[in-house]
Chains A and B, each alone.
Chain A
Amino acid sequence: MLLLLAPLMLLAMAPPAGAVGTLCLPTATTACIAGTVRSDAGVVPNVKLTVTDPSGTAQEVVTGDDGRWNVQVSKEGAYKIALQEDTLPDNVAVSGANEVTVQAKFNATAPALIPVRTSTYVSSTSKVDELIQSSASGLRLGLLLALASIGLSLIYGTTGLSNFAHAEQVTLGGILGYFVVNVHGLNLWLGGLLVIVLCGFTGWFQDRVMWQPLRRRGLGLTQLMIVTIGLSLAMQYTFQYTVGARTVRVVQDNPTVRTIGPITLTNQSFVAMGISIVVIAAVGFALLRTRIGRATRAVSDNPALAAASGIDVDRVIRLVWTVAMALAGLSGLLYALVTNGIKWDSGLQILLLLFAAVTLGGLGTAFGALVGSLIIGLVVELSPVLGMPGDFKYATALLILILLLLVRPQGLLGRPERVG
């Protein structure tokens, strides 16, 4: 479809095509409707189309040697363009509807596309290949989500707080990456490290000046949650204030693509997935095998008991905030690299998935967050392949969340008593 669109954009500059004769230029009182009839084997000349204006008057137009056609109209409104199938060559047929409706506007050329295919046309990718490719993308998204959601879940576990500003920390990683690597030209690896350190510092700093004093004052969790909402709003618009509404990129050059078996992804995606797996494994190891990890899990289970057994709860929470924000920053940096850019509201779109992942896995459980993220990532990327309309892929993730809450509210790996 994109290939079909491309010639339209060139149309205004193209020389007059043979059969059409004159090039249509829209003016303040006329509008143009134009298109190209092109099959997978190339352009199709001498095809007749009927253009019907809003009042019902029809006129005929024939495609030129380059497959192009255009008409000039002097009325704005909805025009029906029908392709006369009997004028198509024998081996070519319309692949969808043979009629489209376009809105003609003065001073503009309205594109009208009627896709045609040769009878020998086969879809180049099989369903299985498509599934594998989407699974790879889903895994990639899942791993990136996991980086952020493990931190979100740890914060929830140790402090009971649902941090609505977590997604903005993800955006922060990408935007800092833009400033450090793209604007100031630092090496990607060094710059990335710097970004993660900076993000970790924001976590330490937040807990030092805000969350810890508020915990000491005994502000309720509901109130704290609203504070995070305010923080998220302020951060979002600070991003927009500094970089505007455009998409910014961490690296300037275009990514190269590599194909492994049926999977085609950018090099950066492969590296990002590798980094995510290593980091997640490291966090998992730290949680299970190290003293501080055991302390974290103890605080998560029962802060009062942990404090009574000599664990410095505030220190653990400070560490959790620092690590969680560093992980979120890493996630944002990788996200910006993999999706080729980040915007002020990218986090807003991820937040939904993060919460779905964390709740799915069980609020407060680090490994639940990992499982939940992978499931959500796969669901989001696979649902379009399995027949969900692309616009609804996020809705599918939420639908699963709501259904799960009905039957197993504590999440996949959560324990019933956590739900209260």
Chain B
Amino acid sequence: MDTIQAILNSMLREAISPQTAAVAIAAIGLNVHFGFTGLLNIGQSGFMLLGAYGFAISIGHGLPLIVGVLLGFAAALVFALVLGAPTLKLRGDYLAIVTISAAEIIRYVGRSALLTDFTGAAQGLQGVSYRTPFTNLSFFGDGDSTLSPFNIYDIAGGAVWVRLVGWLALAACIAGIVLLVKAGRARPTVARRASRDAGGRLTPAAGTESRADLGADARQVTAVSAPVRRMGIGALIALSVFLLFFLMPTSYQDTGVSGWWVRFVAWLLVAVCLLVVYLLVRSPWGRLLRGIREDEDAIRSLGKNVFAIKMQALIIGGLFGALGGMLYVLPASVQPDSMGRSLTFFCYTALLLGGAATIFGPVLGAVIFYAARIMIKGVANAYIPDSIMNGQQTEQFSFIVVGVALMLIVIFRPQGILGNKRELRFNV
């Protein structure tokens, strides 16, 4: 029981860590590239690394925080222009090849001994050199906090029955969310089919009438239940988040190196990014993106400048990547080797797991991805004897599972958890 509790605790810690939020933001950027526009950018880690370098180097040289952030964005913008200019007019593979190579180049240059004064070469930049301005912004004060303050240990000292009831309640909440979401998706199609059937059986004149009636009826049903359903989903999500922290009280420093402050800012930024993407993709510009993904020539024939729109998408997604990179290094240090090809692949796994071309997919995917990786490691560590798999190997085992999972997701469920299969039929 204690081992399981420990594994679950570390899963929750990983799920809410600022680096998970950073990967979620980078995956949101990839979603703009891959999910909405169909650009196969395999160099997101390059954008992240550039953002991180721009941020860390300029602050390390005494520039203010805001300038550091802007320089990080500027680096990513230039990178996107350089990569996009030669490749966006060509078939998709060219972008893939050039982005993956360019991201590796950024890493090579970053760890080059020539630039030791700026990038710290292979050792990278220590967090101390650039973290202070950010930490100084904190209004959380000093000290430690536990989330939630009211937790299982307050009821019967965290007895087994309390935990069981808590976990059952959590499972019920998640089941409720899934049911409500599914109900919301099923209703319109059912209504359409019903109206068609009714229309087919009746006389033409009456059929039109009844179809209209049924349509209005269906609309009304959805209209009445939609806000209720949404509120229900919202309430259940809030309740399950509370239950999670209730079952697994987590405590950190309020402000420290990797405390609540950086977590708060990271997840706040995730929320802001989600809002931005939501507004972008439902704008006319966002519809153009999907149009380009589905049929570039059709959009071109409408007189749109496809190249410019693709470039804008590449830049915007890259800026999300840069922001993710800055967050990624904030609680740690800038290590060029930890931000290589693998990081891009993690972003892809997170994105495809959650569901490409959806709003919440990348975030859900990132949280599940990191929590699941910790679970695999924890379980392998606890239950597989060292003679078969030692501590070092569990780490690699978890990466093997990631790779295989990525393959299986693409083959068997390309739409991920939240996605719509019809949206992912495209070819670059």
Query: Does chain A bind chain B?
Result: yes
- Chain A residues with CB under 8 Å of chain B are 162, 164, 214, 219-223, 225-227, 229-238, 240-241, 244, 348, 351-352, 355-356, 359, 363, 389, 391-392, 394-395, 398, 401-403, 405-406, 409, 419-420
- 21 residue pairs of the A-B complex, CB under 8 angstroms, read A223-B411, A225-B93, A230-B403, A230-B406, A231-B407, A234-B399, A234-B402, A234-B407, A241-B400, A355-B97, A355-B100, A389-B112, A389-B114, A391-B108, A392-B112, A394-B105, A395-B108, A398-B101, A398-B102, A419-B90, A420-B90
CB-contacts of B50-108 with A (<8 A): 82, 85-87, 89-94, 96-98, 100-102, 104-105, 108
- A222 with B428: CB separation less than 8 A: yes
Does B27 sit within 8 A of A, measured CB to CB?
A: no
Contact B91 A419 (CB under 8 A): yes
Instruction: Check B426 for interface membership: any CB of A closer than 8 A.
Output: yes
Assembled-state Cα–Cα distance A223/B424 (Å): 9
Complex contacts, B92 vs chain A, CB 8 Å: 222
Contacts of B40 in A (CB 8 A): 222, 225
Would A214 and B38 be within 8 Å (CB), given that A231-B403, A391-B114 are in contact? no
- Does residue B251 face the partner (Cβ distance < 8 Å to A)? no
Cβ distance A172 to chain B, nearest Cβ, rounded Å: 14
Residues of A within 8 A of B349 (CB): 230
Residues of A with C-beta under 8 A to B428: 221-222
A99 to chain B, nearest CB (A): 16
Determine the main DSSP class of B at the interface with A: helix
B130 beta carbon closer than 8 Å to chain A: no
- In the complex, what distance in Å separates the CA atom of A31 from the CA atom of B82? 47
Q: Does B169 contact A (CB under 8 A)?
A: no
- Residues A233 and B342 in contact in the complex (CB < 8 Å), given A222-B38, A419-B91: yes
Rounded to whole angstroms, the CA-CA distance of A236 and B341 in the bound complex is 12
Q: Is the CB of A402 within 8 A of B108?
A: no
Q: Is B86 touching A402 in the complex (CB atoms < 8 A)?
A: yes
Interface centre among B94, B101, B109, by most chain A C-beta atoms within 10 angstroms, is B101
Mask, B365-400, CB within 8 Å of A = 1, is: 000000000000000000000000000110011011
Checking A222, A232, A356 against B427 with a beta-carbon cut-off of 8 angstroms, the contacting residue is A222
B345-A229 in contact (CB<8A): yes
Which residues from chain B contact A230 at a C-beta distance below 8 Å? Answer: 345, 349, 403-407, 410
Measured between beta carbons, the chain B residues less than 8 angstroms from A241 are 393, 396-397, 400
User: By the criterion CB–CB under 8 Å, are B93 and A220 in contact?
Assistant: no
Q: Measured between C-beta atoms, what is the minimum distance from A87 to chain B in Å?
A: 30
Interface residues of B in 234-280 (CB under 8 A from A): none
CB atoms of B407 and A356 under 8 A apart: no
Query: Which residues in B have their C-beta under 8 angstroms from that of A348?
Result: 104, 340-341
Using known A-B contacts A405-B90, A406-B86, determine if residue A352 contacts B104 with beta carbons closer than 8 Å. Answer: yes
Looking at chain A's contact residues, the main secondary structure is helix
Asked if B109 and A395 sit within 8 Å, CB to CB, the answer is yes
For chain B, residues 91 to 146, give those with C-beta under 8 angstroms from any C-beta of chain A: 91-94, 96-98, 100-102, 104-105, 108-109, 111-114
**B340 contacts which chain A residues (CB < 8 A)?**
348
B86 and A394 contacting across the interface, CB-CB below 8 Å: no
Question: Across the two chains, which residue of chain B brings its CB closest to A160?
Answer: B93
B288 on interface, CB distance cutoff 8 Å: no
CA of A401 to CA of B98, assembled, Å: 8
Residue in A closest to B406 when the chains form the complex, CB atoms? A230
Q: Which of B90, B113, B114 has the most CB of A within 10 A?
A: B90
Given contacts A225-B40, A392-B112, A401-B98, contact A234 B404 (CB under 8 A): yes
Which of A235, A236, A392, A419 contacts B109 (CB under 8 A)? A392
Query: Which residue of B82, B97, B100 has the most chain A CB atoms within 10 A of its CB atom?
Result: B97
State how many angstroms separate the Cβ of B397 from the closest Cβ of chain A.
7
B23 at interface, CB cutoff 8 A:
no
B28 within 8 Å of A (CB atoms): no
Name A217's closest neighbour in chain B (CB-CB). Answer: B411
- Bound Cα distance from A232 to B399, whole angstroms: 11
Residues of B contacting A420 with CB < 8 Å?
Answer: 90-91
A162 and B96 contact, CB distance less than 8 A: yes
Tell me if B319 counts as interface (CB < 8 A to partner A). no
User: Are the CB atoms of A225 and B98 closer together than 8 Å?
Assistant: no
Residues of B within 8 A of A401 (CB): 98, 101
State whether B400 touches A238 (Cβ < 8 A). yes
Q: Which residue on B lies nearest to A348, using beta carbons?
A: B341
Whole-angstrom CA separation of A419 from B425 in the bound complex: 21
